[in-house]
Chains A and B, each alone.
Chain A
Amino acid sequence: MRKTTSRLTSLKKAPTGIYGFDEITGGGLPAGRPTLVCGSAGCGKSLFGLEFLVRGATQYGEPGILITFEETAQDIAKNVASLGFDTDALIAKKKLVIDFVKIDRGEIEEHGEYDLEGLFIRLAHSIGAIGAKRVVLDTIEALFAGLSNQAILRSELRRLFGWLKERGMTTVITGEGAGDQLTRQGLEEFVSDCVILLDHRVVDQISTRRLRVIKYRGSTHGANEYPFLIDEHGILILPITSSGLEYEVTTERVSTGVPGLDEMLGGLGYYRGSTVLLSGTAGTGKTSVATHLAQATCARGERCLYFSFEESASQILRNVRTIGIDLQPFIRKGFLRIHSSRPTVYGLEMHLLRMHKLISQFQPSVVIVDPVSNLQTAGTNEDTNNLFVRLVDFLRKDGILGFLVSLTGGANLLEATDEGISSMVDTWLLLRDVESNGERNKVLYVLKSRGMDHSNQVREFHITSKGVKLVDAYLGPAGVLTGSARLAQEAHEMAAAEVSRQELERKELALSHRRKVMEAQIDALRAAFQAEEEEFRQLVVTEKIRVGQLETDREVMARSRRATALGRQKTNHR
């Protein structure tokens, strides 16, 4: 089983050294096989081929041959010098051969049978001369313009690719697309191993280059369209998912810079290296909250990179001074860098690249993008979301806290507009206006915060001359009350509380009164009862006395009769 897998995965790959490309393809181009790189004019095919050779020669010890049908070696050297490729030096070191094949239709006539053995000989000669491992044919379709016998050309091309494969040459063949076809001459029919499509699109006057691996026999590959750039270092592909979801996380927390907000997030603030989205409508104090974070970060002695797409650096500095934040010293000390640019000045890719670069240079622990939503003007929604995904990926990989500020339109649902990014962020704060009683008040709440205990409260906040201050918002049956409504409600509540307190007191008094009455009644009853009891006792005593008296009376009476009867009685008795 294991053997099978190892054999299956043993497709050798030749790293191109093109930034990002090897990640997409899991190692580069199929080694020893031909790859077709196609696209329309000016899409970067030739550069792809040349960079493949130059990187191969300089980084991977694989000399290469460029057979060019369009430009002379001198032209190419000049063109790529700006990219830092010194082709002349490589040629001198025998690591590169540039062979310009000139085909001039006007000079050539065809009579009878022929083959392309000359090209084979040239290739074989160059391969032998430098021990080449890589070959680029740019673009072989020029042959079809120079020679007319299609049948011969096709069979010869088939033979050529077979020949190159036999010699184990990792080959890049470029071809220009036309209409729906990948290449004008259907080169894809000869190259079955790997086909890469480059594309250069202009949408809304902003150009974006894209790369897609259409086919890669025997290997998995990213099937997406990957935006790429051509900058002073060559081709730069920013793979969306290449970094996957494999990054280290920390439990370390960093302050938000807003005291009340820290408390809302479990009292500790954001996770270091997490992604925070702050969305809100216009004028809700997003930048103020963001600058608080910047200040807190710099005050800890860490670096913060602030990308502003709305205001210039000096404008931000001036504005935040009014809320008691002075960022100037941090800029002087090099803890803070504010980078302002118009969103539409470049395409999204260029923005991302520049961010990439600045972040790698500056090594900040916090990156603020204010606002990311403005970048949407530089591309379509999908593109912007892609940009966010890649930016967030990149920040997380490097353990940088990303603070994305998003401006949501008043008409849109706050929570819906950012759904594209929301799933990527760890903490999502929402700022919004609550309009009532002729005033607008700002409230803040934590929509979500992964992995931490967070407040469910809607808090009102003020932007004061000492910064952002959170106040408990009034939550009542009528909803959230803020501002003067909150104050009025508070006064109202206080009065109501007083009334009810008094009522209670009154009731208590009444109760005690009733108790007293009751007790008095009890006392009276008891007194009555006692009186009755006493009377009864008196009665008993009287009765006793009466009975005693009766006895005595009888005795007296008897005694008075005794003269006769008593003596008899007595004797009778005895």
Chain B
Amino acid sequence: MKATAPDNNKKRRPQPGVSESAAEWKLRLYVAGQTPKSLTAFANLRRICEEHLAGRYEIEVIDLLKHPGLAQSDQIIALPTLVRKLPEPIKRIVGDLSNSERVIVGMNLEKISQPPD
């Protein structure tokens, strides 16, 4: 419970800018409880998104300890896993996202983020 409460709070923060359904970037972060790795991952993700996609993204944090069934249906093995659901194609990044530059490249954030900025 403790693990999910801050997650939920954090999750709401980036949302006000854009309505949920209209978000261009739908990101989902799978974690298992509030481990140092998952906290680091979330912090890193939020920082990167704020820098590059401010107002155009939505992050959904899924705690597999709460919803263990989702691990199977969403094909999650390693944690934390970041899934880019939109824009397509679906991309997965595994790890705590500590190397932000590589995350940016991996998510193709560079190209997309530059024109609007």
Residues of A within 8 A of B (CB): 99, 101-103, 107-119, 121-122, 124-126, 143, 146-147
> In the complex the two chains form, what is the Cα distance from A114 to B29 in whole Å?
13
A107 proximity list for chain B (CB < 8 A):
90-92
> In the complex the two chains form, what is the Cα distance from A114 to B71 in whole Å?
15
CB nearest neighbor in B for A128: B68
CB nearest neighbor in A for B103: A111
> In the complex the two chains form, what is the Cα distance from A34 to B90 in whole Å?
35
B75 touches A111 (CB 8 A): no
A111 touches B106 (CB 8 A): yes
Q: Which of B41, B44, B64, B98 neighbours the largest number of chain A CB atoms within 10 Å of its CB?
A: B64
Residue B77 at the chain A interface, CB threshold 8 Å: yes
A125 proximity list for chain B (CB < 8 A):
68-69, 71-72
Q: A118-B77, A121-B32, A147-B78 are in contact. Are A112 and B72 (CB under 8 A)?
A: no
Closest 5 CB pairs of A and B: A112-B95, A125-B68, A112-B98, A112-B96, A118-B76
A119 touches B77 (CB 8 A): yes
B68 touches A121 (CB 8 A): yes
A114 proximity list for chain B (CB < 8 A):
37, 78-81, 94-96
- How far, in Å, is A73 (CB) from chain B's closest CB? 11
> In the complex the two chains form, what is the Cα distance from A113 to B39 in whole Å?
12
B27 proximity list for chain A (CB < 8 A):
none
Residue B9 at the chain A interface, CB threshold 8 Å: no
- How far, in Å, is A98 (CB) from chain B's closest CB? 10
Q: A114-B79, A117-B79 are in contact. Are A122 and B93 (CB under 8 A)?
A: no
Q: A118-B32, A125-B69 are in contact. Are A109 and B79 (CB under 8 A)?
A: no
Size of interface on B: residues with Cβ below 8 Å to A: 32
Q: Which of B71, B80, B99 neighbours the largest number of chain A CB atoms within 10 Å of its CB?
A: B71
Q: List 16 A-B contacts (CB under 8 A).
A: A99-B72, A107-B91, A107-B92, A108-B92, A108-B93, A111-B102, A111-B103, A114-B78, A114-B79, A114-B80, A114-B94, A117-B78, A117-B79, A119-B77, A121-B68, A122-B76
A121 proximity list for chain B (CB < 8 A):
32, 64-65, 68, 71, 76
Q: Which of A102, A117, A146, A147 neighbours the largest number of chain B CB atoms within 10 Å of its CB?
A: A117
B68 touches A122 (CB 8 A): yes
- How far, in Å, is B112 (CB) from chain A's closest CB? 17
A118 touches B106 (CB 8 A): no
CB nearest neighbor in A for B41: A112
> In the complex the two chains form, what is the Cα distance from A124 to B94 in whole Å?
21
